[in-house]
């Protein structure tokens, strides 16, 4: 279903390799980019991923604006910072940039900065020499080396330790780095795309993200809108996921048009990823071949944006609620004899009155704190 502002038509070449037939940008003076068959860029031990997967961006005004930015920056080496909530499709935007660039036949290397232990992250990024540390029995090329002449995509960049932020800054400035256990520099030609769902400005204020790295990354900034702000795309995406999973799991499930349309009424806090999982769950588990009612939305998801309390605030609120409940139970148990309640709770009479006033407690049928007779 080619309905995005940027699409890639996948066809099988004679040798069986996937080929990008034509990547079309609608609505600009740039009409077509051609790309030859993608070679196999897999390197043992490397997380290389080519741009031959479908790159689909939506037709909402926000996504069309992103498509225009991609068309303008694709043929440059400008660093791009992609921002947006979890699951909005930041990976697809990064792949679209790579697919539209002159580097599209070179490696696309993705590294999740939050998924690798801090102690291994420097070696993973920049590689190490044999004997650089205990257990380094052979030389290992880093992700920057494997992305040479291609694109490296640093996901969850806000999770990068401050100590490594300085080294990444020098790579962006000088286009060279020093592998672990090596004295000389290694030159690298790579385009850097970074992504985050965190507030980097807030992280800078807390001293957790270097301002100089932020300004070096933020040459071109792309903000991907959440799915709830582009509801017209939800039925289209759902239909695409349904077709894909029917083929993958050898099913023939269908969603009636009214149910498909009603999917747009849900806010999808998990964005495209949540919608994808909901469709996958329906295809795999639901016994009905055709669903007329709206699909069961994903289970309630904890989102940091809507639950900003830390553990200290949660504990304080929990203690406050427990104290109020205990005070009310004791007062009800002694028929609101405040002197007896103070004795049971082992507090002074004055302290008890203050707490009754603070919690707004009153005997049943009355409102507000009771008055002393």
Domain extents in the chain: 46-225, 228-291, 313-359
Query: 65-95, pLDDT tens digit by residue?
Result: 899 999 999 889 999 999 999 999 999 999 9
pTM of the predicted model, to two decimals?
A: 0.62
Pair type for strands 18-25 and 6-12: antiparallel
Residue by residue, DSSP assigns 295-310 as PPPPPP---TTT----
Provide the pLDDT confidence category of residue 320 given band limits of 50, 70 and 90.
confident
**Residue 372: CB partners within 8 Å, gap ≥ 6?**
338, 353
pLDDT reported for residue 350: 81
The DSSP symbol for 222 reads E
Provide the pLDDT confidence category of residue 199 given band limits of 50, 70 and 90.
very high
Q: CA-CA distance, 122 to 239, in Å (whole number)?
A: 42
Phi, psi of 344 (to 5 degrees): -65, -40
Q: CA-CA distance, 114 to 306, in Å (whole number)?
A: 21
Provide the pLDDT confidence category of residue 220 given band limits of 50, 70 and 90.
very high
Helices (H), the chain: 61-73, 90-100, 118-126, 143-146, 162-174, 200-205, 211-217, 233-248, 257-262, 271-285, 311-333, 338-345, 349-359
198 pLDDT higher than 70: yes
Query: 221-237, pLDDT tens digit by residue?
Result: 999 999 999 988 888 88
Q: What token pair was written down for 295?
A: 């699909």
What CATH architecture does domain 228-291 belong to?
Orthogonal Bundle (1.10)
Provide the pLDDT confidence category of residue 305 given band limits of 50, 70 and 90.
very low
Provide the pLDDT confidence category of residue 25 given band limits of 50, 70 and 90.
very low
The CATH fold assigned to 46-225 is Rossmann fold (3.40.50)
Considering 139-143, 175-179, 248-252, the range whose residues carry the highest mean pLDDT is 248-252
Give the Cβ contact number of residue 290 at 10 Å. Answer: 11
Q: CA-CA distance, 111 to 135, in Å (whole number)?
A: 22
What CATH architecture does domain 313-359 belong to?
Orthogonal Bundle (1.10)
* Full strand arrangement of the beta sheet holding 151-155: 108-112, 151-155, 191-196, 80-83, 220-223
Q: How far is CA 117 from each of CA 93, 161, 321, rounded to the nearest angstrom?
A: 26, 10, 39
Please choose, from the candidates 106, 115, 212, the residue with its C-alpha nearest in 3D space to the C-alpha of residue 162. 212
């Amino acid at each position: 279903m080619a309905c995005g502002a940027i699409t890639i038509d996948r066809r099988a070449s004679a040798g069986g390799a996937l080929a990008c037939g034509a990547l079309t940008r609608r609505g600009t003076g740039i009409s077509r980019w051609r790309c030859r068959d993608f070679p196999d860029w897999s390197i043992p031990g490397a997380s290389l991923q080519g741009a031959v997967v479908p790159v689909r961006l939506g037709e909402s005004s926000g996504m069309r604006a992103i498509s225009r930015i991609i068309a303008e920056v694709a043929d440059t080496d400008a660093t791009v910072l992609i921002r947006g909530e979890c699951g909005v499709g930041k990976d697809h935007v990064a792949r679209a940039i790579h697919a539209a660039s002159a580097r599209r036949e070179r490696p696309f290397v993705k590294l999740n900065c939050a998924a690798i232990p801090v102690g291994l992250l420097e070696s993973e990024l920049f590689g190490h020499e044999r004997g650089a540390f205990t257990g380094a029995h052979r030389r290992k090329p880093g992700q920057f080396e494997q992305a040479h002449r291609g694109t490296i995509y640093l996901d969850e960049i806000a999770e990068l330790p401050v100590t490594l932020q300085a080294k990444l800054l020098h790579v962006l400035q000088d286009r060279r780095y020093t592998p672990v256990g090596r004295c000389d520099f290694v030159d690298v030609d790579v385009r850097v795309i970074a992504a985050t769902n965190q507030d980097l400005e807030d992280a800078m204020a807390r001293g957790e993200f270097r301002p100089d790295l932020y300004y070096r990354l933020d040459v071109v900034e792309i903000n991907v809108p959440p799915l709830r702000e582009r509801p017209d795309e939800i039925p289209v995406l759902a239909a695409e996921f349904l077709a894909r999973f029917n083929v993958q799991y050898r099913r023939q499930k269908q969603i009636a048009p009214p149910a498909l349309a009603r999917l747009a009424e849900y806010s999808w806090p998990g964005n495209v990823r949540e919608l994808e999982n909901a469709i996958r769950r329906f295809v795999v588990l639901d016994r009905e071949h055709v669903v007329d009612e709206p699909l069961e939305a994903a289970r309630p998801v904890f989102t940091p944006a809507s639950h900003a309390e830390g553990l200290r605030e949660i504990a304080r609120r929990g203690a406050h609620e427990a104290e109020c409940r205990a005070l009310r139970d004791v007062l009800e148990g002694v028929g609101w004899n405040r002197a007896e309640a103070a004795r049971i709770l082992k507090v002074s009479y004055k302290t008890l009155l203050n707490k009754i006033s603070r919690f707004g407690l009153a005997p049943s049928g009355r409102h507000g704190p009771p008055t002393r007779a």
